[in-house]
């Protein structure tokens, strides 16, 4: 169960908890106090900072230093979490606060209730600050236990109750409602990504997406294999043909009242990517359980937009297939005909994402949306170019830059990438309209985007977010990001849609 989150404006000495969280900055010669820590410092007789320095605290991100309150407040433990060095203005970014709140939640396993003073780090908390504290605290408390057999009832579980101290609890209500909705959406993405591929095959992903969509009041459409044949979805069918568990295409629509924009979302839903006949090496193949992270993200986003009641129409179009080698698998050398009639020569069955996305983008464009936002674990080249935490964003210039700007607010690192004209030649085919995989590896992330661009009608603003690295954390947890599914880029998709409605 995810923790509850509430706000209080009572004084700290009247707010009992199992632990209280304060932020500390990184100074040139030791930890720096923050405005929020004053109340704790007073209860501890002005000795908080010297105690922290004695314990070796530096104020670094992801550093949590615990000390006993020695009975000086209605909480046994004080947890001081690092915010890193202050910005030039002397304050800390919302993202620094979000990460600190997440690190604190991870470090406070076994403490049922937590009171956090992080909202006060930048002085009076505005909505953005509260979003950061709340999201960080809830996302950091995430755990995936569905496949743990003997979980002891008394194990050190993540905090169950988070209370944010604010000057005005009434004013904090609305921001925390949004926090709750966002955290639930991120948890849904993480759960779907973390569910193993033997249990999450295309029909099951479609069923879980449909279930979430119905619960959010969306209209739901699932195309099975017969429907895909009838609809001319040659790409989804080709990629799905190697598995006995056939492909699907899910469509979820939210029609908000007084809709000001029509948004198409598309997400890659490869429930497992072995590479197919162009099979991947065994080493890291198990990471390809995460190859449906884009699908999970757009499913969660359309549900989230509905829950928040935004004045917008959003349709998620989600192609789902399992990419396996077999006697019925699609082959290198096959020519595939897509929904819009274009044809691709398959040169590598491991470039399967673009093959299913081609159909989905073509279908999504038939609704004449105002913008199209697509996200996928498309290329290993994304990791080579930008590392594991920064997504690459391509597409039409203005929407691409709008997504990157939104990502600055959401705290999901993204960077704009070009579509150099000369790279388009990399997918020229001698026999078809194009090949699906470039022969050389140069600019692989950009060539993938060039392929997708072939399916976007002229004049439709679009963005492609390559999340191969950022959607799945194969390293240690950090900030509010656990191992496994991360939930990227749900918060940026939401922020982009919100910006489209206001900007």
Q: Is 41 annotated as a binding residue?
A: no
Rounded CA gap, 421 and 448, in Å?
Answer: 13
Q: Which of 135, 191, 225, 273 binds Mn ion (CB under 5 A)?
A: 273
Nearest approach in angstroms of CB 287 to ligand BES is: 6
Rounded CA gap, 47 and 38, in Å?
Answer: 11
- Find all residues with CB under 8 Å of 237, minimum gap 6, and list them: 225, 228, 229, 247
Which position among 66, 160, 261, 280 bears the catalytic label? 280
Nearest approach in angstroms of CB 87 to Mn ion is: 40
Nearest approach in angstroms of CB 386 to ligand BES is: 12
Active site residue 343: no
Residues making contact with ligand BES (CB under 6 A) = 273, 287, 291, 348, 350-353, 377, 379-381, 437, 444, 468
Q: Is 352 annotated as a binding residue?
A: yes
Residue 43 or 437 having the CB closest to Zn ion? 437
Residue 361 or 500 having the CB closest to ligand BES? 361
Nearest approach in angstroms of CB 159 to Zn ion is: 36
- Find all residues with CB under 8 Å of 476, minimum gap 6, and list them: 483
Residues making contact with Zn ion (CB under 5 A) = 270, 273, 291, 353
Which position among 98, 99, 307, 354 bears the catalytic label? 354
Residue 63 or 334 having the CB closest to ligand BES? 334
Active site residue 354: yes
| 317 token code pair | 């179009």
Out of Zn ion, ligand BES, Mn ion, none, which partner does residue 483 contact, by CB within 5 to 8 A per kind? none
Rounded CA gap, 118 and 159, in Å?
Answer: 16
Residue 336 or 495 having the CB closest to Mn ion? 336
**Buried residues in 102-141 as b, exposed as e (16+ CB within 10 A):** bbbbbbbeebebbbbbbbbbbeebeeebbbbbbbbbbbbb
| 385 token code pair | 């170019």
Nearest approach in angstroms of CB 60 to Mn ion is: 37
Out of Mn ion, ligand BES, Zn ion, none, which partner does residue 292 contact, by CB within 5 to 8 A per kind? none
Q: Which class for 486: exposed (0-12), middle (13-18), buried (19 or more C-beta within 10 A)?
A: buried
What Rg do the C-alpha atoms of the chain give, in angstroms? 24
Task: Give the residue among 198, 196, 301 at the shortest CA–CA distance from 244.
Answer: 198
Please identify which residue in the block is written with the tokens 């996305």: 357
| 22 token code pair | 């304060």
Subset of 339-378 contacting Mn ion (CB under 5 A): 350, 352
Residue 101 or 288 having the CB closest to ligand BES? 288
Q: Are 320 and 250 in contact (CB under 8 A)?
A: yes
Q: Is 161 annotated as a binding residue?
A: no
Q: Name the binding residues for Mn(2+).
A: 268, 273, 291, 350, 352
Name the residues that contact Mn ion, by CB under 5 A: 273, 350, 352
Active site positions, annotated: 280, 354
Q: Name the binding residues.
A: 268, 273, 291, 350, 352
């Amino acid at each position: 169960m995810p923790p509850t989150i509430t706000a209080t404006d009572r004084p700290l000495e009247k707010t009992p908890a199992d632990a209280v969280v304060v932020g500390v900055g990184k100074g040139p010669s030791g930890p720096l106090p923050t405005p929020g820590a004053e109340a704790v410092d007073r209860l501890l007789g002005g000795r908080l900072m010297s105690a922290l320095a004695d314990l070796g605290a530096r104020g670094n991100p992801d550093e949590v230093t615990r000390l006993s309150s020695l009975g000086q407040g209605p909480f046994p433990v004080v947890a001081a979490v690092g915010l890193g060095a202050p910005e030039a203005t002397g304050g800390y970014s919302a993202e620094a606060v979000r990460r600190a709140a997440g690190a604190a939640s991870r470090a406070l396993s076994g403490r049922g209730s937590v009171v956090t003073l992080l909202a006060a780090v930048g002085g009076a908390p505005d909505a953005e600050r509260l979003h950061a504290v709340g999201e960080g605290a809830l996302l950091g408390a995430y755990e995936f236990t569905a496949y743990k057999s003997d979980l002891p009832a008394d194990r050190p579980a993540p905090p169950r109750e988070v209370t944010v101290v604010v000057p005005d609890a009434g004013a904090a209500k609305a921001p925390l409602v949004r926090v709750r909705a966002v955290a639930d959406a991120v948890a849904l993405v993480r759960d779907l990504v973390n569910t193993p591929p033997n249990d999450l095959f295309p029909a099951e992903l479609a069923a879980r997406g449909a279930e979430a969509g119905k619960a959010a009041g969306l209209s739901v459409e699932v195309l099975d294999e017969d429907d895909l044949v009838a609809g001319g979805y040659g790409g989804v069918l080709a990629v799905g043909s190697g598995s006995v568990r056939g492909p699907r295409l899910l469509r979820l629509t939210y029609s908000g009242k007084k809709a000001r924009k029509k948004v198409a979302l598309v997400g890659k839903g490869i429930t497992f990517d072995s590479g197919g006949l162009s099979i991947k090496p065994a080493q890291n193949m198990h990471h390809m359980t995460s190859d449906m992270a884009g699908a999970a993200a757009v499913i969660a986003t359309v549900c989230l937009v509905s829950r928040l009641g935004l004045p917008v129409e959003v349709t998620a179009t989600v192609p789902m297939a399992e990419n396996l080698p077999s006697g019925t698998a699609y082959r290198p050398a096959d020519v595939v005909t897509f929904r819009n009639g274009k044809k691709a020569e398959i040169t590598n069955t491991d470039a399967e994402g673009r093959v299913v996305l081609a159909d989905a983008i073509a279908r999504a464009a038939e609704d004449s949306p105002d913008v199209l936002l697509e996200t996928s674990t498309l290329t290993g080249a994304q990791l080579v170019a930008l590392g594991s935490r920064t997504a690459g964003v391509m597409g039409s210039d203005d929407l691409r830059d709008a997504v990157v700007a939104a990502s600055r607010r959401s705290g999901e690192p993204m960077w704009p990438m070009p579509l150099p004209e000369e790279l388009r030649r990399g997918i020229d085919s001698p026999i078809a309209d194009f090949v699906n995989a470039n022969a050389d590896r140069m600019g692989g992330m950009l060539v993938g985007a060039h392929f997708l661009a072939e399916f976007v009608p002229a004049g439709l603003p679009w963005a492609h977010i390559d999340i191969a690295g950022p959607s799945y954390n194969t390293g240690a947890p950090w900030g509010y990001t656990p191992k496994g599914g991360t939930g990227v880029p749900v918060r940026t998709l939401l922020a982009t849609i919100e910006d489209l409605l206001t900007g």
